[in-house]
Homo-oligomer: A and B are copies of this chain.
Amino acid sequence: MAAVNLEGAMGDGLSDAKVHDQVYDALADALIKGQIPPLNPVSLRTLAANLGVSPMPVREAVRRLIAENALELQASNKRLRVPDLTEKRVLQLMKAREWVEPELAALATPLMTRDAIRRLRDDDTKLMKALSSGDVGGYMQANQDFHFCIYSCADADLFYDMARTLWLQVGPFMRVVFGRLGTVQLPKDHHQDMIAAFERGDAEAARASMQADVREGMAMMLDVIRTRAEPEPKRRRVR
């Protein structure tokens, strides 16, 4: 139950990539897209069975995700699950994202190719379309593509990894946020401003737009976290 559907998530077919890397990519992708809700239990053997591999590479992938705070081991020392977010932690994630991601946008500005900007427009179009049709999955995918297209242009591995790690932690809650608020109340997107800044080569404007974008998104999440019922008030059976 609550079994995560990962079918097709792994790049089947010929590939010299290590199995544990494929497992990691599949899991990370599912987390970033919010396909695995917070507090959702995860089992090594179950995942291994779902992905058609032995538990071994799953262990390594999971160990990596734990190191990135994308998964956690319950204090009771057993049971793997997606971490919950406290208000304190959301505030830290917000601060961190408000630093790295604008930084990445600024670094990317002088390196933006015409082709990359075209891709940004494309992603933003898909985003607006998904938004108006209420397609949460499509929205998240387009938004992720938009942001990481920029970040990959920045040519800054360390910052890129930091951003990815942060998204990994925030991902499972994005779906919760949209479930609470719907896709309608999404913040005024600053993507157009960002694209314009890239075209002008105005790094500081890009930085500012990115910061506003991140801030508003995280503010929504913070609001949801604050106003939600206590996370699991001793819930009984769910039948």
Is A66's beta carbon under 8 Å from chain B?
Answer: yes
How many chain A residues touch the partner (CB < 8 A)?
Answer: 23
Q: Which of A35-43, A88-96, A192-200 contacts B (4 or more CB under 8 A)?
A: A88-96
* Inter-chain contact A96/B158, CB cutoff 8 Å: yes
Is A103's beta carbon under 8 Å from chain B?
Answer: yes
Is A190's beta carbon under 8 Å from chain B?
Answer: no
Closest to A155 in B: B88
* Inter-chain contact A162/B59, CB cutoff 8 Å: no
Q: Mark A96-130, 1 if CB is under 8 A from B, else 0.
A: 10010001000000000000000000000000000
Residues of B within 8 A of A64 (CB): 63-64, 66-67
Closest to A169 in B: B158
Is A189's beta carbon under 8 Å from chain B?
Answer: no
* Inter-chain contact B158/A89, CB cutoff 8 Å: yes
Q: Mark A64-85, 1 if CB is under 8 A from B, else 0.
A: 1011110000000000000000
Is A156's beta carbon under 8 Å from chain B?
Answer: yes
A1 CB, min distance to chain B CBs, angstroms:
27
Complex CA gap A161/B92 in Å reads 12
Residues of B within 8 A of A145 (CB): none
Is A159's beta carbon under 8 Å from chain B?
Answer: yes
